[in-house]
């Protein structure tokens, strides 16, 4: 089952807020509903968000009452702005929407109904490409995994974070299917616990052995020699190799560096933003403080009533802490200002 798919004139997605207890498919008919689903984290993970937004733009075309192509293009542009604002940090969202709006503009000669169908086909093509890209990326990354490795994995980067297969967790899955005996330490990834809820659930489906650890245990396991690799995804990678990813990645990479352990970021080239020179230029989404304050322990509220909290959803890991960046076109090593453009511009 794909995380994001089109069927019966609707966009269908796994509601990731309900996992691991309940596997529920939700359906959407408007681009505004899709934008809200992205903001509300019904769907999450940079590639999955991009595919959802692409289908959201296709929905906008069918919502539009425009009879002429110029009017339809105007409605596409308005929907694109709404979708791109849903989550600002993940570059795949803007990349996917921009790809489809350019496709619409370049086919402005088509009648309005033909253009609607063409944009839906373009969204489906983008989703299908994502699966193939992930499998190529996983093959490159699996070559970096050794038999017997214990790997710390951050957040969720599996099939749930993509259309299917996954980025960093896709690497782990491929290495396992190659017969490598590996073990995964799944950090909880607070405050939304994507590791404990989603990655652990996926690993159970694959039969890959794992242990859940709290985020602040990672340094201990690295210092005591119980870890060989650190893997995480990326929501945006700048031209110099700085990586914006789920909050906590920076501290994980720091601990890996201090213990001479490789830290690999795994992401498609669509996540690489060569227009941004360095990570300080990346907008960091700050989410509701309630995600931090509403956490419960044994059914009881953890924080005092009236407490305040900060909740940046991402942090930036400097390129000096990244051993390599795995993409569908190969593995980039420092200096990233040279290696990343080659992979981004490479035609498979």
- Active-site residues, by number, are 235
Which of these, 138, 103, 94, 105, lies nearest to 124 by C-alpha position?
Answer: 103
Rounded to a whole number, what is the distance in angstroms from the first to the last CA of the chain?
26
Contact (Cβ atoms closer than 8 angstroms) between residue 206 and residue 176: yes
- The distance from CA 36 to its chain's CA centroid, rounded to whole angstroms, is 17
Contact (Cβ atoms closer than 8 angstroms) between residue 154 and residue 248: yes
In the numeric block, the tokens 């051993």 are attached to 323
Q: Is the C-alpha dihedral spanning 303, 307, 312, 317 positive or negative?
A: negative
Cis omega (within 30 of 0) for bond into 20: yes
Q: What is the CA radius of gyration of the chain?
A: 20
Residues in the chain: 348
Instruction: Please give the Cα distance from 219 to 150 (Å, whole number).
Output: 14
**Half-sphere CA count of 128, side-chain side, radius 13 A:** 7
């Amino acid at each position: 089952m794909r995380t994001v798919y089109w069927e019966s004139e609707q966009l269908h997605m796994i509601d990731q807020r309900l996992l691991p207890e309940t596997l529920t498919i939700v359906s959407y008919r408007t681009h505004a509903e899709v934008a809200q689903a992205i903001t509300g984290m019904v769907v999450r993970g940079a590639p999955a968000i991009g595919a959802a937004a692409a289908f959201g733009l296709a929905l906008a075309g069918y919502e539009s009452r425009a009879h002429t192509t110029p009017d339809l293009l105007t409605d596409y542009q308005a929907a694109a702005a709404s979708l791109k604002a849903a989550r600002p940090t993940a570059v795949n969202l803007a990349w996917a929407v921009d790809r489809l709006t350019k496709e619409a503009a370049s086919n402005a000669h088509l009648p309005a109904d033909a253009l609607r169908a063409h944009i839906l086909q373009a969204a489906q093509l983008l989703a299908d490409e994502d699966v193939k890209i992930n499998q190529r990326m996983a093959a490159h990354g699996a070559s970096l995994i050794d038999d017997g490795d214990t790997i710390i994995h951050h957040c969720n980067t599996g099939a749930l974070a993509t259309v299917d297969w996954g980025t960093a967790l896709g690497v782990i899955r491929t290495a396992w299917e190659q017969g490598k005996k590996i073990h995964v330490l799944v950090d909880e990834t607070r405050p939304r616990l994507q590791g404990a809820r989603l990655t652990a659930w996926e690993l159970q489906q694959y039969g890959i052995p794992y242990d859940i650890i709290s985020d602040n245990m990672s340094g201990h396991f690295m210092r005591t020699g119980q870890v060989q690799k650190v893997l995480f995804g990326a929501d945006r990678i700048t031209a110099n190799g700085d990586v914006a990813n789920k909050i906590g990645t920076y501290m994980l990479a720091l601990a890996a560096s201090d213990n001479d352990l490789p830290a690999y970021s795994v992401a498609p080239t669509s996540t690489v933003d060569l227009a941004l020179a360095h990570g300080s230029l990346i907008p960091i989404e700050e989410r509701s403080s309630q995600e931090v304050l509403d956490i419960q322990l044994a059914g009881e509220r953890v924080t005092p009533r009236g407490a305040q909290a900060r909740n940046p959803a991402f942090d930036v890991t400097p390129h000096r802490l990244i051993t390599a960046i795995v993409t569908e076109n190969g593995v980039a090593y420092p200096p990233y200002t040279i290696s990343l453009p080659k992979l981004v511009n490479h035609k498979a």
